[in-house]
């Protein structure tokens, strides 16, 4: 139906699909020009450099020891600031890690990943509540583990593709010919998962990006089920990951905010599950539904004979404000109810984290000088404590303390 426009330019009658399409095109054009100015096409993301103290902390050695290595000409040469301070790139830190491991007292002191017999850790980050902090948790966890020397694969399973954008891949422009996990899990002619894995600018961190094409899996699965050829659809992610099992220590999967077939497949692939909770009453109420639906769905999967055992499941408190009394009541209530399944370290709410997100960066990527020092330090300490608690769980699963 044609649009009728009155004299004032107010459209009185227009097909909704037309309106939505126009709005979409306008928004895409605006976003495109904004991106062109913020991130010129040839710009690629880079990890910032680390002060010698930060590098030493990541490696678990003293700064004076790193300084001695530098003076002795061992390992990579750090960049020197005009004030003669040493700056290490993430690649320098990885090179030092490999150097230190050669003379380590115990094997694995500097390379904390899998040893013979340890199984791949697949961590699904989920909750069907939108905005509960899944992507922020996934991105910081994946980057921190990579900086600590784990070989990490981050998977964006959310068609909204925020994790993808955070890692410098533009979901609408860089993936026109596919390249998401959908290609490796679709029912007809899936590609080897290797073909959709790409390295990032962070050593030890690879990415499988996402975009709207992932929605195809939600549409195709019922069709395949009705035709009887979906097989064990919920194992498609697990089976795809089995092809690259040897290449990684940890896989982190950022799930979409719904309990669809993608999330169910991630849940069936996971060895560890992180449920993000923003401690506010409405969120906690919807979580009760999420848990019940998840349990019901897992029953259905288990009935088909699948092994639903996990190594661990934990709740992560996100955007937590310690000065907020109602939040504290909810946190106390959750800790009483769920005990040690609520991780001790919460992710604090911080403008440093949300501001970094505005420029498509994690807190680990932004320069500390971009923020008030105490704001940055408080946020990064909370993220490190949270991620290191998860790293401990991983080590425990492998039988180490
Ligand atoms: N600790 C934090 N402090 C401040 N802001 C935060 C924090 N964690 C997340 N945010 C902000 O909250 C918003 C939602 O976070 P995030 O995208 O991680 O949630 P999500 O669960 O992945 O959302 P979705 O369900 O849409 O995928 C983002 O704008 C993010 O920058
Ligand atoms: Mg998200």
Kindly give the confidence (pLDDT) of every residue in the chain, 401 residues in length, as a single tens digit, with 9 standing for 90 and above: 444 444 445 556 778 888 888 888 888 788 777 766 665 555 678 899 999 999 999 999 999 999 999 999 999 999 999 998 999 999 999 999 999 999 888 888 899 999 999 999 999 999 988 999 999 999 999 999 999 999 999 999 999 999 999 999 988 888 888 999 999 999 999 999 999 999 999 999 999 999 999 999 999 998 888 887 767 788 999 999 999 999 999 999 999 999 899 999 999 999 999 999 999 988 888 888 888 888 888 888 888 777 778 899 999 999 999 999 999 999 999 999 999 999 999 999 999 999 999 889 999 999 888 899 999 999 999 999 999 999 999 999 999 97
Q: Is the pTM of this model over 0.85?
A: yes
**Which of 357, 380, 387 to probe ligand 1 with, by most ligand atoms within 8 A of CB?**
357
Task: Write the CATH number of the domain with boundaries 121-397.
Answer: 3.40.50.300
- DSSP SS3 for 189: coil
* Residue 5 vs residues 8, 9, 13, 19, 335: alpha-carbon distances, Å: 8, 6, 8, 13, 58
Provide the β-strand partners of residue 207: 154, 198
User: Considering every ligand atom, which ligand is closest to the CA of 130?
Assistant: 1
- Per DSSP, 348 falls in state B
- DSSP SS3 for 87: strand
Q: Is 268 in the pocket of ligand 1 (CB under 6 A)?
A: no
Where in the sequence of the chain do the CATH 3.40.50.300 domains occur? 121-397
Task: Write the CATH number of the domain with boundaries 50-102.
Answer: 1.10.1660.10
Q: Say which residues have a Cβ less than 8 Å from residue 29's Cβ, sequence separation at least 6.
A: none
Strands 272-277 and 121-126, by their bridges, are parallel
Tell which atom from ligand 1 comes closest to the C-alpha of 254: 22
Tell which atom from ligand 1 comes closest to the C-alpha of 357: 31
């Amino acid at each position: 139906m044609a649009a009728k426009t009155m004299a004032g330019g107010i459209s009185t009658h227009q097909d909704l699909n037309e309106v939505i399409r126009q709005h979409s095109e306008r928004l895409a054009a605006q976003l495109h020009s904004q991106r062109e100015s913020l991130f010129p096409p040839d710009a690629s993301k880079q990890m910032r450099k680390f002060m010698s103290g930060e590098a030493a902390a990541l490696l678990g050695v003293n700064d004076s020891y790193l300084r001695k290595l530098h003076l002795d000409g061992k390992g990579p040469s750090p960049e020197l600031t005009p004030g003669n301070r040493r700056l290490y790139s993430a690649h320098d830190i990885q090179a030092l890690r490999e150097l230190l491991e050669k003379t380590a007292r115990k094997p694995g002191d500097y390379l904390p990943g899998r040893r013979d017999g340890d199984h791949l850790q697949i961590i699904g980050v989920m909750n069907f509540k939108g905005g509960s902090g899944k992507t922020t948790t996934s991105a910081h966890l994946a980057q921190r583990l990579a900086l600590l020397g784990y070989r990490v694969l981050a998977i964006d399973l959310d068609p909204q593709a925020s994790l993808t954008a955070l890692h410098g891949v533009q979901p609408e422009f860089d993936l026109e010919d596919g390249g998401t996990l959908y290609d490796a899990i679709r029912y007809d002619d899936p590609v080897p998962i290797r073909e959709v894995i790409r390295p990032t600018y962070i050593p030890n961190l690879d990415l499988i990006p996402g975009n709207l094409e992932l929605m195809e899996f939600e549409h195709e699965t019922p069709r395949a089920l009705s035709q009887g050829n979906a097989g064990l659809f919920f194992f498609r992610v697990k089976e795809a990951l089995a092809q690259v099992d040897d290449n990684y220590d940890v896989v982190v999967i950022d799930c979409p905010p719904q309990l669809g077939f993608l999330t169910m497949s991630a849940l069936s692939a996971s060895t560890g599950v992180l449920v993000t909770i923003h401690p506010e009453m409405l969120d906690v109420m919807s979580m009760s539904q999420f848990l019940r639906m998840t349990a019901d769905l897992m029953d259905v999967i288990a009935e088909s004979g699948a092994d639903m055992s996990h190594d661990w499941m934990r709740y992560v408190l996100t955007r937590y404000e310690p000065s907020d009394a109602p939040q504290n009541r909810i946190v106390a209530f959750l800790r009483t109810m769920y005990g040690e399944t609520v991780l001790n370290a919460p992710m604090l709410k911080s403008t440093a984290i949300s501001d970094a997100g505005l420029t498509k960066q994690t807190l680990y990527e932004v320069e500390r000088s971009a923020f008030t020092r105490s704001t940055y330090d408080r946020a990064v300490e909370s993220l490190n404590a949270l991620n290191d608690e998860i790293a401990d769980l991983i080590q425990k699963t492998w039988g180490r303390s």
